[in-house]
Amino acid sequence: MKKVILFLGYVFLYFSITAQDIHYTQFFNAPLTLNPALTGLTRGDYRLGAAYRGQWTDTSQTLYSTPSLFFDMPIHILNDAIGIGGILKSNVVNTNSLRAFTGCFSVSYIKSLGKKNNHQLSIGAQIGYSNKFINATELPFSTQFIGNTNIPTPTNGIDYIPTSFSVFNVNAGVLWFGRIDQRISMYAGASVYNVFSAQAQPASLATQRFLKWNVHTGIDITLGRIVHLLPSFLFNMQPNANELLPGLSIAYDITPAATLTLGSILHTHNFYSKNANINAAALYTSFDFKGFKLGLSYDFPISKTQKLGAIEITAIYIGKKKNSKSIIFCPMF
């Protein structure tokens, strides 16, 4: 019976890591993770970016480590464009006991709209391959704790062989971006992940999909000549879980080539149920200079049930950045 319970826990961990899609507090600085339709939607000839998120418990033990790297570029066809790119991302849990690595090829078609091409409608898709690894012998169990204190031991007593799973999947998205007037720009989009997934796994584990939906939007409102008000939000939904991330930032144009941004983002779980709660608040800052953007945020746990703090660092470089209003715009907020 003990081994049966442990095996069921093992299966649960597998499905947990399958459902744990990568997401960032700075979702607006991780475009190919947020929506395939953002592929190639940039003000330059190409865009290169990286992000890192680290989460840890209240005992300072690292629990999740989530790095990613992406590249994309537009291929212009008159006033329209085809965006191509790719992203590499991983999620490492509890000192390599659970690992997931994903590589995706991303493509989009960006259609310019309006007499002055001030609007773009983009449709995108990603084809990805993931490898997921579970080593139950490295996971902590109740026998290794006294109260809430972890007592390190050479082994947790589990003798299951480490297992690796491979997953192919397809993601899709749509996004609209427009310049309403000289002072207001806006984007709005939606994407769905794990539309199709084919898994190579033992027969004892049933094939299962974990669809992830999200909708997101952001607005750039220019106040005066050098101050920008930047409200944004992201809503994520997966089976039995949902999360709303509303945010508000203020950007200040130090010079025409340099911008400093400060803001805050909330993490709200179970948004439309009676169990809705705000479990974390993040402070965010970024600095833009001549096509290079560096972002930093920290999540402070504020709920009694939330014990994880998190830090994120993002970096984006836009090669051969252009300022012409006739080219494709890029949501930078």
Domain count, the chain: 1
Q: Which of 191-200, 274-283, 318-327 has the highest mean pLDDT?
A: 274-283
pLDDT tens string 52-79: 998 876 555 657 889 999 999 999 998 8
Residue 128 lies in a domain: yes
Mean pLDDT of the chain: 79
In a domain? residue 24: yes
Confidence of residue 166 (pLDDT cuts 50, 70, 90): confident
Residue 174 Cα distances to 79, 217, 233, angstroms: 19, 12, 16
Answer yes or no: is 165 within a domain: yes
- Asked if residue 212 belongs to a domain, the reply is yes
Residue 232 has pLDDT above 60, yes or no: yes
Residue 331 in any domain: the answer is: no
Read off the CATH number of the domain in which 143 is found.
Answer: 2.40.160.40
Q: What is the pLDDT of residue 103?
A: 93
The pLDDT assigned to 117 comes to 82
Quick check: 297 and 283 in contact, CB under 8 A? Answer: yes
Question: pTM score, two decimals?
Answer: 0.80
Instruction: Check pLDDT > 50 for residue 28.
Output: yes
| Residue-range definition of the domain harbouring residue 148 | 2-319
Higher per-residue pLDDT: 179 or 7: 179
> So what's the pLDDT on residue 174?
97
Q: Tell me, yes or no, whether 126 lies in a domain.
A: yes
What is the rounded CA–CA span in Å between residue 45 and residue 48? 10
Residue 109 placed within a domain: yes
Residue 326 included in any domain: no
Q: Which is higher by pLDDT, 87 or 133? A: 87
pLDDT the model gives residue 7: 38
